[in-house]
Amino acid sequence: MVSKVRVFILLLCVGVFVVLRERVAEVSLENFSPFHNTSPCACGKCLSEDDVWFTQRFNKSVEPFLSAKHSLSEAAFRWWKGIQLEKRNFIYYSATVDNLFKTFPATPDVEASSDRCRTCAVVGNSGNLNGSRYGPLIDFHDQLLATPLDTHCKFPPLMNTGRTKGYEADVGKRTTHHVMYPESAVDLDNTTHLVLVPFKIQDLEWLIKAFTTGFSGASYMPVKSHIKANKDLVRIVLNVNFVGSFMRYVHDTWLEKKGRYPSTGFMALVLALHICDEVSVFGYGADKDGNWSHYFEILKNKHLRTGPHAGTHEYDVIQQLHKNQIIHFFKGW
């Protein structure tokens, strides 16, 4: 009888051991399986993929930066060239792009990384930044900066001709990416990315010549002949995965074709959604008269409104992104 009890206990122990071993194996596989962690980033909260409104607009396949591997199709070029009535053809454009990559990186290093939380502050030029005291909060986004697109990035502050000196308390001290086009170009330090938003072939030619021989062409306003910036940190916002331009993607999908074309500020915001995990937005919105006034200057044209852009609709989209908790929007004033 005793021996039978011992055998029973032994068999019971073996059974328990087998069950525990199999469970440990299951847990181990769950922990180390590449399919277990489905989170797209290492943040506490990433850009929502459960929001229907957002997923109808956000296209994960978009490749926003021009590269030797990702360039405009001829059909996409035809839409893009109509923005500023570009007269030269696709062959000329393609030759210009080939020449471009003799000077600048052919493959921008913008790979997503699931083991980092990339927090970005997108900083516009709105007058509502005056007296906001957002500077420390803005700088918090990149105070642990390692490489600009791997952990934290800040756009810009200031799109185009915006500046930080003298306004640090409201807009912060650092810039990792400065969004511009030739007519709004400013010199940058050696650590800041020059993010060019081109509207015509001449903008690409300007980029090449401003870093080499000097640009001498004409435009609708004076253009810098030379620019100081790190050529290895140049990024060109133009491509969308062979099917269209980034500008058209933003215009058609995000703005529902409202306005003639999107503002550089709104394109910078959508760009941030594609390369960041958490996005905070500062310095966007018109003044009480409906004008896009700037915090760093007194607006002379009191009838400016928002130019050729659908400024009201852009602002509504930003507010919707905030309402849906996709971004954090700081309105100022």
Q: Which two tokens stand for residue 49?
A: 């993929």
Q: What are the φ/ψ torsions at residue 328 (nearest 5 degrees)? A: -110, 120
Which of 93, 261, 284, 295 is labelled catalytic? 261
For residue 100, CA distances in Å to 137, 236, 244, 286 come to: 37, 10, 20, 36
Q: Is 84 annotated as a binding residue?
A: yes
Kind of pairing, strands 278-282 and 328-330?
parallel
Q: Which two tokens stand for residue 178?
A: 């400065």
Assess whether 328 carries a catalytic annotation. no
Q: Is 239 annotated as a binding residue?
A: no
Which of 93, 295, 309, 315 is labelled catalytic? 309
Rounded Cα–Cα distance for residues 266 and 258 (Å): 13
Q: Is 294 annotated as a binding residue?
A: yes
Assess whether 261 carries a catalytic annotation. yes
Q: Is 152 annotated as a binding residue?
A: no
Which residue reads 């055998």 in tokens?
A: 7
Q: Is 309 annotated as a binding residue?
A: yes
Rounded Cα–Cα distance for residues 272 and 251 (Å): 16
Q: Is 328 annotated as a binding residue?
A: no
Q: Is 261 annotated as a binding residue?
A: yes
Across the chain, the runs of DSSP E, i.e. the strands, are: 119-123, 152-155, 177-180, 193-196, 234-236, 239-240, 244-245, 278-282, 328-330
Rounded Cα–Cα distance for residues 67 and 62 (Å): 13
> What count of other Cβ atoms lies within 10 Å of the Cβ of residue 242?
14
For residue 263, CA distances in Å to 34, 175, 234, 292 come to: 40, 20, 20, 11
Which residues are known to be catalytic?
A: 261, 309
Q: Which residues are annotated as a binding site?
A: 84, 125, 160, 220, 261, 265, 285, 294, 309
Q: Which residues are annotated as a binding site for substrate?
A: 84, 125, 160, 220, 261, 265, 285, 294, 309
